[in-house]
Amino acid sequence: MKKIITMLAVLSVTAAVTVSASPHHGHGGPGSDRYFSDLVAEELESFASQAAGTEIGDLTVSDLTELLSVLSVREQEASYVRSLKFSSFVMPGFGQFRGGDALAGSLFLLGDIGLSVGTFWGAYALLPETVQLRKGGSTGLDYWNDSRSDIDAAWRGLSFSDLAPSLGVVLGGSVLDLIWRSWSASNAGDLAHENIESGVVVFEPQPFTFIGDRMGLGMRMRY
């Protein structure tokens, strides 16, 4: 009976960590998700090596708990890195602020604001004068006082070639913004790894939270 219970426990643990140890796209450097997959695989290999020659029925709950404790820390570390990277992709600089690097966070945030403002004003400046804001006696539209029909007529009278320069600025600005966000996310990921390796951020083993989360029991890890 003991062997059956132990075997079921081992199989449950193996199934629970399969997702964590599965390969992902990308290289295995500290800035990638594959890095943590490799660490999980190393922990499993280490456990298998230490348990080599041991009858499965001789494995104890303590052995399994120790393995789960290590894996739970790796999972929390990976979650922390993903969280900071996602934060900085959604709002450049936010992940850096969360990671404790206010200078980098400020630079990424101000850079993103500058890109957005520059794209807006560049696109506006290249619009035909007939749809720009009216200044004095110049042509253009008074969007507060002109009738909706006049505004619609002015815009409908434009061709694609009239709008092409502004659309080009918007497209170019969007590409630059995507590159900026990706750079910010990558930088936040590197910062998260540095925090982990330097001990600025430390995670406590949560073996049963880990196994409950991987098996869909509604548990979640916090840090």
**Is there a contact between 190 and 31 (Cβ–Cβ < 8 Å)?**
yes
Of 7, 12, 19, 13, give the one whose Cα is nearest residue 67. Answer: 13
Is the CA virtual torsion 111, 117, 121, 123 positive or negative? positive
**Over 70: is that where the pLDDT of 53 sits?**
no
- At 183-221, the pLDDT tens digits run 999 999 999 999 999 999 998 887 666 555 554 443 444
Per-residue pLDDT at 65: 75
Per-residue pLDDT at 212: 53
CA distance 18 to 57: 22
**Over 70: is that where the pLDDT of 26 sits?**
no
Residue count (the chain): 223
Residue by residue, DSSP assigns 88-134 as HHHSTTHHHHHHT-HHHHHHHHHHHHHHHHHHHHHHHHTS-GGGSBP
**Over 80: is that where the pLDDT of 94 sits?**
yes
**Over 90: is that where the pLDDT of 72 sits?**
no
**Over 90: is that where the pLDDT of 113 sits?**
yes
Q: What's the whole-number mean pLDDT along residues 98-116? A: 97
**Is there a contact between 58 and 74 (Cβ–Cβ < 8 Å)?**
no
Distance from the Cα of residue 128 to its chain's centroid: 39
Computed on alpha carbons and rounded to an integer, the radius of gyration of the chain in Å comes to 27
More confidently predicted of 183 and 68: 183
SS3 string of 12-48?
Answer: HHHHHHHHHHCCCCCCCCCCCHHHHHHHHHHHHHHHH
More confidently predicted of 112 and 7: 112
Per-residue pLDDT at 218: 38
Per-residue pLDDT at 57: 53
**Over 80: is that where the pLDDT of 27 sits?**
no
Q: State percent of the chain over pLDDT 70.
A: 64
Q: Domain locations in the chain?
A: 2-93+203-214, 95-195
**Over 80: is that where the pLDDT of 64 sits?**
no
- At 121-154, the pLDDT tens digits run 999 999 999 999 988 767 889 999 899 999 999 9
CA distance 75 to 211: 11
**Is there a contact between 72 and 221 (Cβ–Cβ < 8 Å)?**
yes
pTM, full prediction = 0.71
Q: Which DSSP letter does residue 217 get?
A: S
